[in-house]
Amino acid sequence: MEPTQDNMIAPFHIDIPQTELDDLVARLRATRSPAPLPGDDWDTGIPSGYLHELITAWANDFDWRVFEARLNEVPQFTTVIDGQRIHFVHVRSAVPEATPVLLTHGWPGSFLEFTHLIGPLTDPESHGGDRADAMHLIVPSLPGFGFSTPLHSAGWTSAHIAAAWVELMDRLGYGRFAVQSGDLGASISPEIARIAPEKVIGVHVNGALSFPDDLGEDARAAMSPPSTRTGWRASAGS
């Protein structure tokens, strides 16, 4: 696709104004912590002690500029699709025949979920893997999330986002690619395959937000009760 004013892709560099960082620190230091609920554990939400540790770390210890510099080592870009600014990470493997893979984050997530995968997936040989498994990675930020803000308009359904992702891949020159996502993104990747089945090599989802409606009574009875969330508590508290 030839670049035009309408489909232009621009490099993106994170540079949060210092005034905004100072304002955030001031707000955090002025936080009035609520009294802990009985038990103060993950069954009732975020434990007040854990939340206090996070606030203290952000307000006093966390160096955003160091983290920002590390993020800016990852190639990032923006483009406008249907009037919406779309931010995305695009890392091409040094292996020319690498498989393009589009990764979509969930809610409340961001492209940060995938940054630790960039090395192993684009350069598997250097991480004990096989060169043949190398991938080109494209990681967009959902409209209204992260740096794909501000939200330009309403109506960004899963199908609308999927169509935007197909357009993004066209602009990057990828005629065939795989898609992967989880949580909210798990509703988008299958839509991409429905919109452009000739372009999608395969779809992989985790944490899909769906539930079969044709289960028999025996199958339903064998399921754990909704209140059993041991795995969630363990991951949230780690």
The predicted structure's pLDDT at residue 230: 40
Q: Tell whether the model's pLDDT for residue 87 goes beyond 80.
A: yes
Q: What is the mean pLDDT of residues 64-91?
A: 97
- Return the CA Rg of the chain: 21
Q: What is the mean pLDDT of residues 182-205?
A: 95
Architecture of domain 75-209: 3-Layer(aba) Sandwich (3.40)
Mean pLDDT of the chain: 90
The predicted structure's pLDDT at residue 80: 97
Q: What is the mean pLDDT of residues 185-202?
A: 96
The predicted structure's pLDDT at residue 2: 57
How many Cβ atoms from other residues are within 10 Å of residue 136's Cβ? 21
Q: How do the domains of the chain map onto residue ranges? A: 15-73, 75-209
Confidence class of residue 26 from pLDDT cuts 50, 70 and 90? very high
The predicted structure's pLDDT at residue 120: 97
Cis peptide before 226 (omega within 30 of 0): no
Q: Tell whether the model's pLDDT for residue 3 goes beyond 60.
A: no
pLDDT single digits (tens) 64-73: 999 999 999 9
Nearest Cα residue to 91 out of 120, 132, 131, 126: 120
Nearest Cα residue to 162 out of 82, 77, 52, 68: 82
Helix, strand or coil for residue 99?
A: strand
Cα separation of 133 and 225, whole Å? 40
Cα separation of 113 and 42, whole Å? 22
Cα separation of 87 and 139, whole Å? 9
Cα separation of 150 and 164, whole Å? 16
